[in-house]
Amino acid sequence: MNTGFFGDIKKIKYEGPESTNPLAYRFYNPDEVVAGKRLEDHLRFAVAYWHSFAWPGGDPFGGQTFERPWFGDTMENAKLKADVAFEMFSLLGAPYYCFHDADVRPEASTFAESAARLDEIADYFADKQKKTGIKLLWGTANLFSHRRFMSGAATNPDPDVFAYAAATVKKCIDVTKRLKGENYVLWGGREGYETLLNTDLKREQEQAGRFLSLVVDYKHRIGFKGTILIEPKPQEPTKHQYDYDVATVYGFLKKFGLENEVKVNIEQGHAILAGHSFEHELALANALGIFGSIDMNRNDYQSGWDTDQFPNNVPEMALAYYQVLQAGGFKTGGTNFDAKLRRQSLDPQDLLIAHIGGMDCCARGLKAAARMIEDKALSGPLEERYAGWKSAEGKAMLSGKRTLEEIAERVVKKKIEPQPKSGRQEFLENVVNRYV
């Protein structure tokens, strides 16, 4: 069945870099083998249900700009939305999608009724997944839009909200498992605070720790094999979000003994909001052993908001995928476009064009990264820079075989006077430029 929403547009094909067809891939050829793997299997693209199908185009100064035939809060609308969504995934050849409960079903007046509606839509999705081969990258719960969550979900001062949030996450994990989701994401949209005048920070941290422990325990008891991911973000909507950045999340996981259970979903725009580069967050997650997945959407660098734009900066993306490849590539994770159109981009075609552009840029970035790795363009100079640590004395100092006094004694005896060496930053930047 075809809804007709996209008119007579056919499946988007790879036409190569010379093509001027806006509805074709110029760099993303899913079957192209790069570093021993098909591009589709490297990149594992996912479309975010919320931005493309649930968001009405509002901004702080104005409401809905998009007119979509499925807008409205009936189950018929929800099913039409699903029909169009799967049509778009298929047209794009996007292998995965992601959703929140609130994106896919209208909320009812009781928890039980909302849950039943989610089940009904999950059955509808299951059928579509089977027919199309499209898979669920991750499921998640929206614990931030409804007013009941205004003071937090797990970190709410009211234990009833904690319980409601727990029941919601349980339901969403059940549905994610049923749909064979490969991950489950927790983004703490209201887990933070506006002012310490009304906030018991220590207690709220304990609540968040307990909540996550309950989730991990449940995952194991039902045999959900997917990865639990936390998505860090420093602020917005709350002034101070608890899951500030990768380092903060790691400290939190360590405190509650969950560092081997939970990984991170790193969003490009959130990294920037936290005052980091995307590649910093990726490299750190890899170094700490918690790299999981990415949300590949950028912010406007001037506005300071999480504007969730489709990515288009290939040199930046090459450095990001360089870190992804250094981490061994995605295991259960993937490249989710947590990105929305600009509110003036009204046409159905705009949805396709935005994703095509994003996917093409990712493909270019990944290919550049793979070539840099193959040529040891950066790893060669890096190895050289740290080569001194291969010496017997270097190894002895690091392995705990020397005391501070012994090290000091050797400096005097051997008359050690270190000679500074160039960090060669400009040389390395020029090297990167050859690949992008």
- Least distance between ligand XLS and beta carbon 269 (Å): 8
- Least distance between Ni ion and beta carbon 131 (Å): 28
Near Ni ion by CB under 5 A: residue from 50, 338, 355, 358: 338
| Total Cβ atoms within 10 A of residue 191 | 27
Estimate to the nearest angstrom the gap between the alpha carbon of 191 and the chain centroid.
18
Q: Does 243 bind ligand XLS (CB under 6 A)?
A: no
Residue 140: name its binding partner from Ni ion, ligand XLS, none (Cβ under 5 to 8 Å by kind): ligand XLS
Q: Does 140 bind ligand XLS (CB under 6 A)?
A: yes
Q: Does 103 bind Ni ion (CB under 5 A)?
A: no
- Pair 68, 111: CB distance under 8 Å: no
- Pair 378, 322: CB distance under 8 Å: yes
Near ligand XLS by CB under 6 A: residue from 204, 243, 306, 360: 306
- Least distance between ligand XLS and beta carbon 25 (Å): 25
| Annotation marks residue 103 as catalytic | yes
In the numeric block, which tokens belong to residue 362?
Answer: 């990712």
| Annotation marks residue 174 as catalytic | no
Q: How far apart are CA 270 and CA 266, in angstroms?
A: 8
Q: Does 231 bind ligand XLS (CB under 6 A)?
A: yes
Q: According to CB under 5 A, which residues from 283 to 312 bind Ni ion? A: 295, 306
Q: How far apart are CA 380 and CA 393, in angstroms?
A: 23
Q: How far apart are CA 219 and CA 170, in angstroms?
A: 9
Catalytic residue among 42, 100, 270, 355: 100
185 or 372, CB closer to ligand XLS? 185
3-state secondary structure of 277: coil
- Least distance between ligand XLS and beta carbon 393 (Å): 47
Burial tier of 410 (Cβ tally within 10 Å: 0-12, 13-18, 19+)? middle
Q: According to CB under 6 A, which residues from 64 to 123 bind ligand XLS? A: 100
In the numeric block, the tokens 């005052």 are attached to 275
Strands 183-186 and 192-193: unpaired
Q: Does 233 bind ligand XLS (CB under 6 A)?
A: yes
245 or 338, CB closer to Ni ion? 338
Using CB positions, name the residue nearest to ligand XLS.
Answer: 187
Q: How far apart are CA 355 and CA 3, in angstroms?
A: 20
Catalytic residue among 42, 51, 101, 103: 103
- Pair 184, 210: CB distance under 8 Å: no
- Least distance between ligand XLS and beta carbon 265 (Å): 7
Burial tier of 282 (Cβ tally within 10 Å: 0-12, 13-18, 19+)? buried
Question: What does the binding site for ligand XLS look like in residue numbers (CB under 6 A)?
Answer: 100, 140, 185, 187, 231, 233, 267, 295, 306, 338
Question: What does the binding site for Ni ion look like in residue numbers (CB under 5 A)?
Answer: 267, 295, 306, 338
Q: Catalytic residue positions?
A: 100, 103
